[in-house]
Amino acid sequence: MTVAPRWEPSERWVRGRRGDLTIVDSRRAILVWDSPTPVPRYAFPEADVRTDLLRAAGERFDLVIGDGTGPDAARYIALPWSAAEHWYEEDEEIFVHPRDPHKRVDAIPSSRHVTVEIGGVTVADTRAPVLVFETGLPTRYYIPRADVRLELFEPADLRTGCPYKGTAGYMSLREPGDAPPNIVWSYAEPLPAVGPIRGLLAFYNEAVDLTVDGERLQRPVTHFSRSLGH
């Protein structure tokens, strides 16, 4: 059964640029959630999109039809993220996908006692973590580098982007045993909203043993679990 997309208007000024060309410039964007995609994408009134440039570049785009009610009902174009090299909400560049207005990310310094074990070996022990509470994900515990046994890890080639936090770099265990690669990550230059995590290290709860204030946490099952082999 086909499920109709869920959408809502956005009051943000959204622009997409490729080189020196503006592909889209709109103050009338809508956010669209296409099942089963868990993250939104932007759709724009056709008049706000340079469709001639998209066709010239061989880009694919989809049409989203409004419900036909009210004077503002119109045909909207839902662009793939690759349609532009750089996307902006107001004057701030955004990455990976539009930020979901129903998702919240809070980075809060704490004095909880957090330890991390991998294969029975304690690799981190801190009383100065930063806890990141992100809608739909388990709490992540970011740990100062001074409280991590860095000699056990080596830099990895992996880099990932997050629209809420920025670009992350990864490390893997030098002697991984049964542990998956890229088990720890860090944001060297996080977005301002999560500034307290700058340079701190976080471990996948799904693949390590976390103890918080003396209580061993159960390993969660998330969409990361499969790629981690857990």
| Domains of the chain from N-terminus onward | 6-94 (2.170.150), 105-228 (2.170.150.40)
Mean pLDDT within 143-158: 97
On the question of pLDDT at 5 being above 90, the answer is no
pLDDT band at 42 (very low <50, low <70, confident <90, very high): very high
On the question of pLDDT at 168 being above 80, the answer is yes
What is the pLDDT, as a whole number, of residue 59?
54
pLDDT band at 36 (very low <50, low <70, confident <90, very high): low
Tell me the pLDDT tens digit for each residue of 75-100: 788 888 888 999 999 999 999 999 99
On the question of pLDDT at 69 being above 60, the answer is no
E-state strands within the chain: 6-9, 14-18, 21-26, 30-33, 41-45, 62-65, 75-78, 86-89, 92-94, 105-109, 114-118, 121-126, 130-134, 140-143, 153-162, 166-173, 184-186, 201-203, 209-212, 215-216
On the question of pLDDT at 140 being above 50, the answer is yes
Cα 226 to its chain centre, rounded Å, is 18
pTM for the structure as a whole: 0.84
What is the pLDDT, as a whole number, of residue 70?
43
Mean pLDDT over the full length of the chain: 88
Q: Is 212 exposed, middle or buried (0-12, 13-18, 19+ CB in 10 A)?
A: middle
State percent of the chain over pLDDT 90: 69
What is the pLDDT, as a whole number, of residue 151?
97
